[in-house]
Structures are given as structure tokens and as C-alpha cells.
Amino acid sequence: MILVIRSGLARRSRAPAHMAERFNMKQTWFLILVILLGAFPLGAQEAGNIVYGNSRARSTGVVTGDLFAVEPKGSVAVSFVEANVLLNLNADQYQAVFALAQEGPTLAESNEKIAAQASEFVAAIEELGIKHTDIFVDFISQNRVYDYAVEGNVAREKLSGFEVKKNIIVRYQDRAVLEKLLSAAAKSAIFDLVKVDYVVSDLAAARARLLEEASKIIRQKEASYKRLFGVALRPVSVYQEKYNALVPADLYKSYVAYESGSADNYNLRVVGKRKTSTFYYNPLDPAAFDAVINPAGVEPMVQCTLYLKVKYR
């Protein structure tokens, strides 16, 4: 393009030689400046008001093609093979916790009332065949109880008595015993079943079984990668080993099911009705695991998991 412009100028120039040379030099510097400016993208004409903000230039590895630039350090030259295993177990024992609370005008009377209630319940439990060594009465607290006395238009707070709280912990092996425990508790005016613990006596054996199964899965994946993709991996270390154990109490979820109309358009005071909420057992999804040992049945079970991750080169 420069040659064409120069040739055109040469044909039209009839000035003296020194003036033509000076004119051509100015044209040459002008063209160089135009070319240099054209090498940079000037997008201000169609950028919009975004130019008032911070620069949006993208210089990440994905844009530049350097994918390793966005990888965490130490992950470029290594690979990982993972295994996620689930083990369902029946509990060896169960522990039910019942809460007791008694109030009285004096602390001594409160203690007498709760002691009589606990003794009655413990005697009923022992009649069910549960050993005395499997029953424990746990003292929780004793508190002052305050109330208000209204005198005219003044409500004055005052001490009204004392409250004593205890828990009775019962250990048993047969799940059917729980229904009998609830009946005995109701006869003793105990209505608060705090929780039921599922006890697995040998968690070490469960973890050993999980580790063995997870190791098999990782070896199978390692062999499959070599057979299918020709990738030869050399194990370096166990990168992550995470055990977990979930009892049924951890897996229950609540919900409320109902359909309700709308009275917002009638300009009325709306009085709602209490909706019943309930719970359901929602175990871990077996599809999220590489292997499931002892598939779950219809009854709640203890679910033990292991996530194993091995580092390779």
C-alpha cells in the first residue's frame, strides 16, 4: 500500500526535488503511525458504558490455551483414583433415653417426686427382663422456677418453686423391647423419648471391611485404565481416607403434606389450622457409591462409608 501511494505522489509531484523528498518523508511517518495504531484494538466506539468499569480482560489459562496454568499446583504431573464404598450394618445394641422432669414448691419435694417416678419406671423395666446394669439414671439439672403475681396493673416476678430433671438410659438388644418400654414409660407419666442410639460394638472390623473393598475397587480401576487407555499408573501414596458412620437418627427428614386455599382477596382475618408434620427414613443413595456391602432392607440400619483416594504418577 505504501508503494502505491508513493507512486501516485511521484506522478502528481512537480515541485522541486528537495520539497518532494520532504513531503514523501512526512507521508511515510504518517503511514507508519496509522499502521501502528491499527495493530491495537480500539473498541471504545461500540463498548458501551462498560468502559467506565474495571477491565474485563481475560488472561486465564483457558483463554490462552495453557490449561495447566489453571490447575492446582502439584496436580499436573499426578493422577488420582477414587473409591466410595457403603456398608449397611444392623446394630448390636440399642440405647433409649427417656427424659423426666418434676416441679415442686421446695427442692426436697421436687427430688422426692422425681425419685419416686424414676423408681417406678426402673422397676417396670426390670420386669421386662432388662438387667439392672443396663439401666442408668442420669441427673441433669435442678432449677428455680419463676412466675408472675399480678397486683393491679403490675405483674411482679417471684420464685414459685423448683424443677429437677433426670434422664433414664436403657440398653437392650431386641428392637421389639422398645414398644414395651414406651408402654411402661407412659404408665409412669413419662412421655419424652429423647432418642434411640444404634450401637455397633466393633466399628474397627467394619472399617477394615470397607478398606479391603475400597482397595479392590481401586485396583480394578487401575487395571481397567491400563487395559482400555494404555495408561500405566504407579501408586505414590494414600491421598485421602475418610470414614463416616450414620445412625438412623441422622437420616430422618421431616415434611408437611397439605393443600391450602387462599383468603387474601376477601379482606378477612385468617385463622389457620395446625398442620401435622411427620418424618421418614431417607438412607444414603446407593447409586452414589462404587460398591454397597449388605444392601439395605426395609428397616433402618447403621450406614458406614469410606471415601478412599490414592495418588498416582
Residue 231 is assigned to a structural domain of this protein: yes
Ramachandran sector of residue 36 (left: φ over 0; alpha: ψ -120 to 50; beta: rest): alpha
Say what angle helices 107-127 and 177-187 make with each other, to 10 degrees: 140
Residues 153 and 214 in one domain: no
- Give 59-72 pLDDT, tens digit per residue: 444 444 444 455 55
Residues 210 and 180 in one domain: no
- Give 123-172 pLDDT, tens digit per residue: 999 999 999 999 999 999 999 999 999 998 999 999 999 999 999 999 99
- Give 169-218 pLDDT, tens digit per residue: 999 999 999 999 999 999 999 999 999 999 999 999 999 999 999 999 99
Which residue segment(s) compose the domain that 28 sits in?
2-33
- Give 236-281 pLDDT, tens digit per residue: 899 999 999 999 999 999 988 888 887 766 677 888 888 888 999 9
Residue 16, classified by CB atoms within 10 Å of its CB into exposed (0-12), middle (13-18) or buried (19+), is exposed
Residues 195 and 250 in one domain: no
- d(C-alpha 221, C-alpha 209), whole Å: 19
CA terminus-to-terminus distance, the chain: 57
Question: The domain spanning residue 100 has which CATH number?
Answer: 3.30.70.2970
Residues 220 and 179 in one domain: no
| Burial per residue of 246-273, b for 16 or more beta-carbon CB atoms within 10 angstroms, e otherwise | bbbeebeeeeeeeeeeeeeeeeeeeeee
Q: Which of 137, 167, 199 is a domain's end point?
A: 199
Residues 291 and 217 in one domain: yes
CB 310 within 8 A of CB 78: no
